[in-house]
Amino acid sequence: MKELVEQKVKHIVQKVPSLYRLLWKGDLLLKTGSQYTKIFTILDAVKLTLKWADSLPNKFDVIVGVPRSGLTIAGILASKFGRPLSTPNAFVQGEVWHSLHVGKPKFHNVLIVEDDVIRGTQISRAYMKLKTFDPSLEIETASLFVTPKSKKLINYHYMVKKPPLIYEWSLLTNMASLGKLLVDMDGVLCKNPSDGDLKNEKSVTDFYVKAEPHLIPQYTIEAIVTSRLEKYRSQTEAWLKKHDVKYKRLIMLQGAKTFRSSVQLKTEAIRMVKPFWFWESNFAEAIQLWKKTKILTVCVDKMVILR
């Protein structure tokens, strides 16, 4: 009976974007829609790593993080255990970061750390680099996340997840290999405008020229799909160039801007380009895009994946 009620509630709210926004504030949608998956945030990384540390042996002389994402997790563990921190390349060059208030430590037991392991290529390379440098080292490997297949490749792990493995701390740097990316403009690449920014033509133009950067991938975006009107193309392109945004196409709205026209524009772009995923800032729009295309959709406002 409970499941039936939840399904009916879900069916009703899917038709009303304003109700979606209201319920989302109380996280009620996560309880009634199993297709919504929270992205692990940077704050989650800290919390999960500290919990993981309780089950890890505190026997290592140095924590070596695999750049770049693995170094984030390694840094938390090194701080928790009070151990020196390094990277594979730095370690073999004799560069290890440790407190100036203690003497230079000696290294025998080493823990190599990643944020996730899928094929194990990077962590295996790190292991071989350190072992070649000093065969006497006792080296073990660890990853915060693993897949069902990769967990056997390392000594320690905290959580098993099915791929794709997507986290806030890797969104902008490590995700190019997943496939074509489409993104919204306002609320994603730049911060959302305030009501004051939209009060008249001059304020809108000023915002498009001076908007603060928000989430800019360091890899190439297949297409930026924005409900900004076509007449603002020159200002938008100038802003993208100024902030070194890498992209192939800029798709803008023709005609009046409404919730419906924005969703239609983005839906058509998704069907035309056939990307792996889409980044949207507005949760109600993200829901509609996912419903219409079934493409993996990231709502960056809520750090949630719809799939």
Whether residues 153 and 178 share a domain: the answer is no
DSSP code, position 29: H
Least confident range from 117-121, 158-162, 168-172, 196-200: namely: 196-200
> How far is the C-alpha of 37 from the C-alpha of 127, rounded, in Å?
33
**Sign of torsion, CA 25 31 36 42?**
positive
Listed in sequence order, the residues at least 6 apart from 91 whose beta carbon sits closer than 8 Å to its beta carbon are 62, 64, 110, 130, 133
Residue 52 within any structural domain of the chain: yes
Alpha carbons within 13 A on the beta-carbon side of 226: 21
pLDDT, tens digit (0-9, with 9 covering 90-100), for 168-184: 998 998 788 889 999 99
Beta carbons of 240 and 196 less than 8 angstroms apart: no
Strands of the sheet containing 181-183, edge to edge, are: 36-38, 304-306, 296-299, 277-280, 181-183, 221-229, 247-253
Interatomic CA distance for residues 92 and 85, integer angstroms: 13
| 113, 159: one domain | yes
Are 111 and 155 contained in the same domain?
yes
Is the domain of 110 the same as that of 67? Answer: yes
Q: What is the pTM of this model?
A: 0.78
CA distance 63 to 85: 5
> Which strands sit side by side in the sheet containing 62-65, from one edge to the other?
85-86, 62-65, 109-117, 138-146, 156-160
Q: Which residue has the higher pLDDT, 149 or 98?
A: 149
Give the residue from 147, 167, 187 where a domain finishes: 167
pLDDT reported for residue 20 = 45
pLDDT > 70? residue 10: no
Band of the pLDDT at 164, cuts 50, 70, 90?
confident
Kindly state whether residue 4 falls inside one of the protein's structural domains. Answer: no
Q: Which of 8-17, 164-173, 221-230 has the highest mean pLDDT?
A: 221-230
H or E element in which residue 125 lies:
helix 121-133
Radius of gyration from C-alpha coordinates of the chain: 23
- The total of structural domains in the chain comes to 2
CATH number assigned to the domain comprising residue 182 = 3.40.50
**Do residues 75 and 200 both lie within one domain?**
no
Please check whether residues 276 and 201 belong to one and the same domain.
yes
The pLDDT value given to residue 3: 43
Q: CA 48, CA 55: separation in Å to the nearest integer?
A: 12
Q: Which of 1-15, 85-99, 133-147, 203-217 comes out lowest in average pLDDT?
A: 1-15
At 130, which CATH number?
A: 3.40.50.2020
Q: Is residue 60 part of a domain?
A: yes
Domain that holds residue 90: 42-167
Instruction: Say how far apart CA 143 and CA 123 lie, in whole Å.
Output: 9
| Pair (89, 122) in one structural domain | yes
User: What's the chain's average pLDDT?
Assistant: 88
Do 135 and 175 have their domain in common?
no
pLDDT the model gives residue 35: 63
Last residue of a domain, one of 144, 167, 190: 167
Question: Tell me, what's the pLDDT at 123?
Answer: 96
Residues 20-36 have pLDDT tens digits of 444 444 443 444 343 67
- Whether residue 25 lies inside any domain: the answer is no
Above 60 in pLDDT, residue 17? no
Backbone CA torsion sign across 186, 189, 194, 199: negative
Distance, in Å, from the CA atom of 168 to the CA atom of 242, rounded to the nearest integer, reads: 24
Q: Could you give the CA distance from residue 223 to residue 246 in angstroms, rounded to a whole number? A: 10
| DSSP code string of 133-158 | H-TT-EEEEEEEEE-TTGGGGSSEEE
In 3D space, the residue among 239, 238, 236 whose CA is nearest the CA of residue 252 turns out to be 236
For residue 181, is it within any domain?
A: yes
Residue from 140, 130, 52, 143 nearest 96 by CA: 130
Give a yes or no: residue 36 inside a domain.
no
Judge whether 262 lies within some domain. yes
147 in Cβ contact with 153 (< 8 Å): no
175 and 110 in one domain?
no
Residues 285 and 194 placed together within one structural domain of the fold = yes
pLDDT digits (tens, 9 = 90+) for 258-290: 999 999 999 999 999 999 999 999 999 999 999
Give mean pLDDT, residues 90-118.
Answer: 88
Tell me the per-residue pLDDT of 292-303, one tens digit each, with 9 for 90 and over. 999 999 999 999
